[in-house]
């Protein structure tokens, strides 16, 4: 090979021209850093050192001693403890956040989730940070040990890449619908199902209780769906009063009485809550004879006409569901 400056011949692998002193950069073959690290790792693996516990010969990069099975790599123990603590910390925060959200929908599930988060927090602080052999061998000050033990380990939450934006447009409404349906079921329908289940006189009666359009908070729809020949109007009346007693602590602005999806009467939330309170106090004069005058009909009604209180109650039930041929006999039985 010839020098590009003086055209003198030089040997292959030379870095400097012996004639003019030109540095031959292109002829030098730099080594890659990855190769240097790999060779250094191989050299470390070939080296043998004595175990600090049993004095047996082990490799320098060994994690456990092959003779006494003790952990000789303290960094490995710390990294493993850090990973475990980070996962426990992440699980405890998920339980806390889910529990706070579940308290608004279903209190027992929320309390159970918060208790699980508290238990995971206790487990997190109980996981040792330092290797037990190191803690027994070295005298670490109590303040330093507590500071290391109480340190929070963070964990990164990987967010998957969304290949299609349809997942956002489809998944978000589905999640919102699921949350709304759960709120209707646990806050309104579950108390109504409990009322129907506790009394054998309500067997065969079906009532749907939900928010207006299933999404309007504060407006409750009490929809009487079905009755059997066993029910009398006093049973229908009692079921409504039992529901009012169970939800009297909720914030309700308006309640609509419907029959098979058709709204017949309305009442404001404050009066409906008072109706539940008076029924809990067994004020039957208020919940029976003053009851029809508390509701406002959505169409022309004869409930508020002059007459006896009993006639007003009979007319209220007839206009609520007694116009149907299937329930006319039930309404006439009052």
pLDDT at 62: 78
Which whole number is the average pLDDT over 265-286?
Answer: 93
Q: Are 232 and 203 in contact (CB under 8 A)?
A: no
**φ/ψ (deg, to 5) at 297:** -75, 145
pLDDT at 97: 85
pLDDT at 28: 44
pLDDT digits (tens, 9 = 90+) for 111-138: 888 899 899 888 888 888 776 655 455 5
Is residue 272 scored above 80 in pLDDT? yes
Across the chain, mean pLDDT equals 78
pLDDT at 29: 47
User: What token pair was written down for 177?
Assistant: 């619908």
- Could you identify the residue written with the tokens 């406002």? 296
Is residue 170 scored above 70 in pLDDT? no
Q: What proportion of the chain, given as a percentage, has pLDDT over 90? A: 22
Is residue 222 scored above 60 in pLDDT? yes
- DSSP type of residue 32: P
Is residue 30 scored above 50 in pLDDT? no
Which one has a higher pLDDT value, 220 or 47? 220
pLDDT at 132: 63
pLDDT at 70: 76
Q: What is the pTM of this model?
A: 0.52
d(CA 37, CA 102): 52
In the chain, where the domains are located:
74-149, 176-332
- Could you identify the residue written with the tokens 């470390």? 44
């Amino acid at each position: 090979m010839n020098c590009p400056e003086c055209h003198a011949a030089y040997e292959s692998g030379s870095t400097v021209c012996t004639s003019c002193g030109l540095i031959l950069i292109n002829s030098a073959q730099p080594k890659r850093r990855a190769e240097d690290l790999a060779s250094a790792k191989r050299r470390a693996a070939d080296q043998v050192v004595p175990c600090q516990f049993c004095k047996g010969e082990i490799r320098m990069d060994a994690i456990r001693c092959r003779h006494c099975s003790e952990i000789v790599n303290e960094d490995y123990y710390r990294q493993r403890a850090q990973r475990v603590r980070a996962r426990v910390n992440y699980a405890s925060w998920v339980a806390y956040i889910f529990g706070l959200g579940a308290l608004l929908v279903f209190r027992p599930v929320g309390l159970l989730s918060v208790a699980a988060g508290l238990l995971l927090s206790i487990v997190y602080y109980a996981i040792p940070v330092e290797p037990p052999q190191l803690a027994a061998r070295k005298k670490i000050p109590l303040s330093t040990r507590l500071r290391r033990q109480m340190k929070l380990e963070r964990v990164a939450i990987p967010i998957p890449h969304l290949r299609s934006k349809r997942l956002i447009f489809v998944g978000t409404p589905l999640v919102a619908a699921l949350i709304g349906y759960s709120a209707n079921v646990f806050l309104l329908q579950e108390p109504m199902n409990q009322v129907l289940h506790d009394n054998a006189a309500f067997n065969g009666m079906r009532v749907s209780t939900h928010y207006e359009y299933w999404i309007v908070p504060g407006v409750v729809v009490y929809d009487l769906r079905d009755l059997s020949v066993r029910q009398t109007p006093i049973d229908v009346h009692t079921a409504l009063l039992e529901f009012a007693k169970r939800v009297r602590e909720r914030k309700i602005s308006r309640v609509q009485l419907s029959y098979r999806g058709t709204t017949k009467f309305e009442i404001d939330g404050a009066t409906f809550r008072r109706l539940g309170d008076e029924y809990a106090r067994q004020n039957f004069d208020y919940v029976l004879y003053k009851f029809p005058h508390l509701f406002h009909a959505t169409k022309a009604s004869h409930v508020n006409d002059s007459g006896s209180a009993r006639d007003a109650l009979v007319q209220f039930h007839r206009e609520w569901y007694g116009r149907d041929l299937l329930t006319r006999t039930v309404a006439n039985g009052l």
